[in-house]
Structure 1
């Protein structure tokens, strides 16, 4: 099935329309960082957009990150992957989590979802006192004014409402397929070519 058939783009999407959505990269995106990526869009307005890629992990566990930051951990976090959140600010850490923005560097990014950038949440996770559902990432994805709208209109991305199960329960490598199923499509069958039946 071609992208034109699956996600027609006759009209440009409204600015801000994608906040709280999952962005599914299509083959139109090419072979760079975003190839086969799934991104949670944290912020979208007239000034641009910001998101965290949630299906690409680094060769780094949260326990390794805490050790590097000299944060002592009583929790076993060796099986918690650190994600490659995007190609921008790759030394900057982000925790996407359920719950209110109660941490020092927290902001609400969706219904019952917050994004935190402060060390205090990492200390809480190390002590087993942090949020139950969370993702840790280094880096983020960013778009300038109108850029995301143009890319969606050009079929580089498909959008689907964020699902807490996909965000926090589905294994990292299975998130893209799960998001595609939510749209009723098989991601592996998408092509970048438009065709006529």
Structure 2
């Protein structure tokens, strides 16, 4: 499986380093109740990773070039589906101290979360206090995401440092909305179990 890197210059538009939270009902099953951490957003398009889609693939089963990175993954130690684009690639996010420069990691916003270059020396994994690996990513063409936000398909909310490594990703959508006073009512209107409504 090829290794992708979201390292380099991050975009300067409004969503980079922030969360996109899907507004219900989302007609695209790839993004139903999704929380997407945006890595870039500029005039050429946007790129992010879905934080709420753990796969059934146990990350610890891989013994190839990613084995040291995989051994450092946060619970649950599975690969996450980052989105519907390039599902044959792997992208890493890590929590690192932001006190020194690393050529193998690029900070995502101001949250202490970094996109890591998995093609570098895997002993760098030891520096990560949290690590998550994503298969594929979410991508938008020029102005496409801006149109979706204007069409109210997404809320744009601030990311907390722990969001990218949450131990209970299936409930992250609800909890992110609950911490935003102006969006809490969405949780009551669209409960996790619609039969409980």
Which TM class, normalised by the smaller chain length? 0.7 to 0.9
Give the corresponding residue for 1:5. Answer: none
Query: What does residue 20 of structure 1 align with?
Result: 17
Change (3 A) 1:37 1:143: same
- Aligned-residue offset at 1:120: 3.6
Q: Provide the residue aligned with 2:118 in structure 1.
A: 118
Moved more, 110-119 or 151-160: 110-119
* Aligned pairs (5 A) from 1:159-170: 159-170=156-167
Q: 1:159 to 1:76 in 2, by over 3 A?
A: closer
User: Contact between 2:59 and 2:70, CA under 8 Å: does it hold in 1?
Assistant: no
- Structure 1 counterpart of 2:106: 107
Distance 1:84 1:188 in 2: 27
* Partner residue, 1:36: 33
Task: Indicate whether 1:150 and 2:147 are aligned.
Answer: yes
SS in 2 for 1:119: coil
Say whether the 8 Å CA contact 1:103–1:118 is kept in structure 2.
Answer: no
* 1:31 Cα deviation after fit: 4.0
Bigger relative contact order (CA 8 A; separation at least 6): 1
Q: 1:121 and 1:58 mapped to 2: Cα distance?
A: 26
Per-residue CA deviations over 1:163-182 (Å, capped at 9, x if unaligned) read: 11322245211211111112
Query: 1-side partners of 2:52 and 2:136: how far apart?
Result: 13
TM-score, L = length of structure 1: 0.75
Is the CA contact (8 Å cut-off) linking 2:72 and 2:131 kept in structure 1? no
**For 2:147 and 2:69, how far apart are their aligned partners in 1?**
44
Alignment of 1:1-197 (within 5 A): 16-65=13-62, 67-69=63-65, 71=67, 75=71, 79-99=76-96, 100=98, 102=102, 104=104, 106-111=105-110, 112-120=112-120, 122=122, 124-125=124-125, 129-184=126-181, 185=184, 186-187=186-187, 189-190=189-190
Aligned CA distance change for structure 1 residues 72 and 178 (closer, same or farther; 3 Å): closer
Q: Which has the larger radius of gyration?
A: 1
Q: How many residues align?
A: 172
Root-mean-square deviation (Å): 2.7
Unmatched segments (≥5 aa) in structure 1: 1-14, 192-197
